[in-house]
Chain A
């Protein structure tokens, strides 16, 4: 089914006028890698647009910097051209099953039309150089080009009402059936008027967006639907993003009123009984290291699963480190004499060390 999927992936790291970002291109590249491997999207169907496609040489100013909105517009135009070719053949505008749109870089929100990704040539005086991801996503869904559109935007959403909105150049094309039956997943790194955060992330300490890190970890299996080992669905991914992204922030970072600790996610259809599968995954396990105190030696320790308190691992403490592999879930570690219950959230986002 992924053979008819398409993707546009854009990551902008160099902004001569706005300040460079350290992780946006890398995030986009990692998302592209996931598309080509786990998601099974054909390579010829993926349009990557990243800073290193154009630089070095280092641009002298924002006027020479790329990528620009035209690069994204060309990629979307290509899809539209293919859809029109399909329509000319009598097959309607349907191009494929799913469209992925991933955008990472500086961003803001002109009005209430969703966040936009600023391109490399944007500046504070010229915020009109951007890509309105949500508007493109909506066009390709409502026109019936795709059954599903997944939009992921790892950008800020500071509000600026008076910045001009660069609308997609498409006239409205509405397929009533597509509007009724179409499915979408819109994931935005932050909420309206707030910022998101990129920071050095485990395990290698390289910078990345916390939204993208959580997204990819979830898509690779950490966000599988409860009761299913093999499926990540729209709702399970939404729940994972909302509940786990904040774990990548320190308590101090969570206090920053300008940074949102959970993303904004919209799904259609929204009813849980109409949940849809995003990707099939292999079961994943994540390493956990429990560090005991010397006084715990000899004690019987259990790891109980949070959903039903079923014991999934147990040991009698002999060494001060106990290494186990656990599926993503919430657990409690129970140590008697005196009774201690220690929370263990296995999210896959970081190395899991427990100090009871």
Chain B
């Protein structure tokens, strides 16, 4: 938020030798920095900044997400001017100063919004059109629209295979595991007549559903892919935009792999996607700010949110998390956001996650458990934080519990690897209390995702199990037991990955018996382990059971 009260440029307010510098941005959530020639920051703001300074050369930097522009302005009384190329900034002199106005910056977005990286008018029009169509009807009252922008990939193959690279597709499931829609089978593309559906630059699928929680699976070829939450709210269309990652292609030099870029917007159900919408652009800027932990923009975003009377629920959710970023958040304001969002969208796990962060006295904290995970990773972290002291928030055997140690990546959205035995089986992952850890197998997933993000998966212990083993070893050492105790490395080193795990049941048994079985220390230790491992307390017992099974001690 701008740090000074906004006022029209006019006669200098300071001593006669000072010059007013005003910077305004069309992007209301852009960060503005004004730096003097000694590299000292003299002023900053969101969407706008204003200062009175001594004559000199000043750098003006405007930033949104990772996109920034920098210009230098020479401030001499009566001769204020931009030094060098002005590009997309306008300079207007007024008495006593100069105002720089920045046009909209090209931001990075998976949605074909105007003034975004890779903007394509035909894709924008396709998204607008298809979001107003109905490709699948499986309920009523809410909508889910998925639009995938495919990467143009020249294929080095020959003959019939040329151009037929596996393309990203998205499949929507309901909370019972029933398939609802598949972008490749049910949606629309720009593939011409006679062309295979994979030879397209976009694909889209608009589905009418009942309000509720859904799971979107991103598939590449025949491999089961990452899962994420999509929430459909009554009267709203949840719009999921995906931009296909750069994948290594045979014959193409270099690994351009990166995770799928994605964004989620919400619009009134009948309205569809509007590429020129200022509200949607603001949501995108909020997403970028949250992705890059730029909590300072929260204030300005919230001003816009209130000004627009909470027209955009996603902006509200993102702004709420931004508010929490720096510590010392205005919890009264957060409470107001939560109440408004509940009125707007009803039940939504990300709204309820924000409610957990309001002051206890506000009485807003979610009473019902989080059987199903939220959309945002930060929402999940809020749930974990609360679940450490209230384990019932994430019940054992719930879907949230089962995916807690299968998370992928470190981006904005909560994503997890699939659970075999659940997906597509038609079973109910959330309400099937009969499911136990023994029913599940760790899929392993692709060992290295094409993206550069870290994926830690091994055939023997998964990373969370390995971390738990380390923690238990540390506990045993701290309790004064002799010897270092075996480590995961030592297990896997003997006989190769996976085959050596069962080699030392005696040691493993000694390590795995003990603290967690103690009636006195069990709950406290469980809570500490949950915090340390980044999983709900309910998951600790499940992980321990898995560890015991793999180490041959159960």
Given contacts A164-B470, A309-B76, A330-B72, 18 further A-B contacts (CB under 8 A): A63-B489, A128-B467, A158-B453, A160-B454, A161-B410, A162-B405, A163-B454, A193-B410, A226-B39, A226-B40, A236-B39, A255-B66, A255-B67, A257-B66, A306-B37, A308-B55, A341-B83, A343-B57
- How far, in whole Å, are A254 and B117 apart by their CA atoms in the complex? 13
Does A350 sit at the interface, judged by CB under 8 A? Answer: no
Does A329 sit at the interface, judged by CB under 8 A? Answer: yes
Instruction: Chain B residues near A280: list those with CB within 8 A.
Output: none
Chosen A-B contacts, 11 in total, with CB atoms closer than 8 Å, are: A108-B454, A163-B454, A163-B456, A195-B452, A226-B39, A239-B38, A239-B39, A308-B56, A309-B55, A309-B56, A309-B76
Nearest CB of A to B315, in Å: 21
Nearest CB of A to B501, in Å: 13
> Is A162 a contact partner of B59 (Cβ separation < 8 A)?
no
Known: A124-B454, A126-B489, A164-B467. A159 touches B410 (CB 8 A): yes
> Is A128 a contact partner of B466 (Cβ separation < 8 A)?
yes
How would you classify the secondary structure of chain A's contact residues: helix, strand, loop or mixed?
loop
Does B457 sit at the interface, judged by CB under 8 A? Answer: yes
Instruction: Chain A residues near B117: list those with CB within 8 A.
Output: 255
Which 8 A-B pairs have CB atoms at the shortest separation, nearest pair first?
A306-B37, A306-B57, A159-B410, A226-B38, A239-B39, A164-B467, A330-B37, A125-B458
Nearest CB of B to A222, in Å: 10
Nearest CB of A to B350, in Å: 18
Among B55-94, those with CB < 8 Å from A are 55-57, 59, 65-68, 72, 74, 76, 81, 83-84
For the A-B complex, the count of residue pairs with Cβ-Cβ distances under 8 Å equals 127
Among B444-496, those with CB < 8 Å from A are 448, 452-458, 463-464, 466-467, 470-471, 488-489, 493
Residues of B within 8 A of A (CB): 35-41, 55-57, 59, 65-68, 72, 74, 76, 81, 83-84, 108, 117, 258, 292-293, 405, 407, 410-411, 448, 452-458, 463-464, 466-467, 470-471, 488-489, 493, 532-535
* B466 and chain A: residue at smallest CB distance: A164
> Is A160 a contact partner of B66 (Cβ separation < 8 A)?
no
> Is A162 a contact partner of B407 (Cβ separation < 8 A)?
yes
Does A208 sit at the interface, judged by CB under 8 A? Answer: no
> Is B81 a contact partner of A341 (Cβ separation < 8 A)?
yes
Instruction: Chain B residues near A254: list those with CB within 8 A.
Output: 66, 68
- How far, in whole Å, are A191 and B289 apart by their CA atoms in the complex? 13
* B35 and chain A: residue at smallest CB distance: A243
> Is A257 a contact partner of B108 (Cβ separation < 8 A)?
yes
Nearest CB of A to B420, in Å: 20
> Is A162 a contact partner of B56 (Cβ separation < 8 A)?
no
Nearest CB of A to B112, in Å: 17
B39, B76, B410, B455 — most chain A CB neighbours (10 Å): B39
- How far, in whole Å, are A163 and B471 apart by their CA atoms in the complex? 12
> Is A161 a contact partner of B470 (Cβ separation < 8 A)?
no
> Is B83 a contact partner of A257 (Cβ separation < 8 A)?
no
> Is B458 a contact partner of A306 (Cβ separation < 8 A)?
no
Known: A125-B457, A162-B405, A254-B68. A329 touches B37 (CB 8 A): yes
> Is A305 a contact partner of B489 (Cβ separation < 8 A)?
no
Instruction: Chain B residues near A309: list those with CB within 8 A.
Output: 55-57, 74, 76
- How far, in whole Å, are A317 and B160 apart by their CA atoms in the complex? 66
Nearest CB of B to A83, in Å: 23
Does A261 sit at the interface, judged by CB under 8 A? Answer: yes
> Is A158 a contact partner of B466 (Cβ separation < 8 A)?
no
- How far, in whole Å, are A126 and B487 apart by their CA atoms in the complex? 11
- How far, in whole Å, are A304 and B55 apart by their CA atoms in the complex? 12
* A226 and chain B: residue at smallest CB distance: B38
- How far, in whole Å, are A40 and B407 apart by their CA atoms in the complex? 48
> Is A305 a contact partner of B39 (Cβ separation < 8 A)?
no
Instruction: Chain B residues near A258: list those with CB within 8 A.
Output: 258, 452
> Is B40 a contact partner of A111 (Cβ separation < 8 A)?
no
Does A136 sit at the interface, judged by CB under 8 A? Answer: no
Nearest CB of B to A120, in Å: 14
A111, A159, A305 — most chain B CB neighbours (10 Å): A159
Does A332 sit at the interface, judged by CB under 8 A? Answer: yes
> Is B488 a contact partner of A126 (Cβ separation < 8 A)?
yes
> Is B66 a contact partner of A63 (Cβ separation < 8 A)?
no
Known: A240-B39, A330-B57. A163 touches B66 (CB 8 A): no
Does A307 sit at the interface, judged by CB under 8 A? Answer: yes
Instruction: Chain B residues near A192: list those with CB within 8 A.
Output: 293
> Is A124 a contact partner of B83 (Cβ separation < 8 A)?
no
> Is B84 a contact partner of A257 (Cβ separation < 8 A)?
no
Interface range, A side: 35 or more
Partner of B38, one of A108, A159, A160, A307: A307
A126, A127, A256, A305 — most chain B CB neighbours (10 Å): A126
- How far, in whole Å, are A161 and B453 apart by their CA atoms in the complex? 12
Known: A192-B293, A330-B59. A305 touches B37 (CB 8 A): yes
Instruction: Chain A residues near B68: list those with CB within 8 A.
Output: 254, 261
A63, A163, A256, A305 — most chain B CB neighbours (10 Å): A163
* A167 and chain B: residue at smallest CB distance: B474
- How far, in whole Å, are A7 and B253 apart by their CA atoms in the complex? 42
> Is B410 a contact partner of A158 (Cβ separation < 8 A)?
yes
Partner of A343, one of B72, B471, B534: B72
- How far, in whole Å, are A342 and B83 apart by their CA atoms in the complex? 6
Instruction: Chain A residues near B37: list those with CB within 8 A.
Output: 305-307, 329-330
- How far, in whole Å, are A244 and B35 apart by their CA atoms in the complex? 12
> Is B66 a contact partner of A256 (Cβ separation < 8 A)?
yes
> Is B456 a contact partner of A127 (Cβ separation < 8 A)?
yes
Contact string against B for A residues 171-206, beta-carbon threshold 8 Å, 1 for contact and 0 otherwise: 000000000000000000001110100000000000
Among A272-327, those with CB < 8 Å from B are 305-309
Among A225-256, those with CB < 8 Å from B are 226-227, 236, 239-240, 242-244, 254-256
* A347 and chain B: residue at smallest CB distance: B39
> Is A161 a contact partner of B534 (Cβ separation < 8 A)?
yes
> Is A191 a contact partner of B292 (Cβ separation < 8 A)?
yes
Nearest CB of A to B68, in Å: 7
* A333 and chain B: residue at smallest CB distance: B83
- How far, in whole Å, are A239 and B38 apart by their CA atoms in the complex? 9
- How far, in whole Å, are A108 and B457 apart by their CA atoms in the complex? 16
Instruction: Chain B residues near A331: list those with CB within 8 A.
Output: 57
- How far, in whole Å, are A165 and B405 apart by their CA atoms in the complex? 16
A161, A239, A256 — most chain B CB neighbours (10 Å): A161
* B84 and chain A: residue at smallest CB distance: A343
Nearest CB of B to A141, in Å: 21
Nearest CB of A to B46, in Å: 18
Nearest CB of A to B496, in Å: 12
Instruction: Chain A residues near B108: list those with CB within 8 A.
Output: 257
B67, B466, B532 — most chain A CB neighbours (10 Å): B466
- How far, in whole Å, are A193 and B532 apart by their CA atoms in the complex? 19
Partner of B407, one of A126, A161, A240, A343: A161
- How far, in whole Å, are A205 and B35 apart by their CA atoms in the complex? 30
- How far, in whole Å, are A338 and B102 apart by their CA atoms in the complex? 26
Known: A63-B493, A128-B466, A306-B37. A162 touches B66 (CB 8 A): no
* A166 and chain B: residue at smallest CB distance: B470
Instruction: Chain A residues near B488: list those with CB within 8 A.
Output: 126
Instruction: Chain A residues near B535: list those with CB within 8 A.
Output: 162
Nearest CB of A to B4, in Å: 20
* B41 and chain A: residue at smallest CB distance: A239
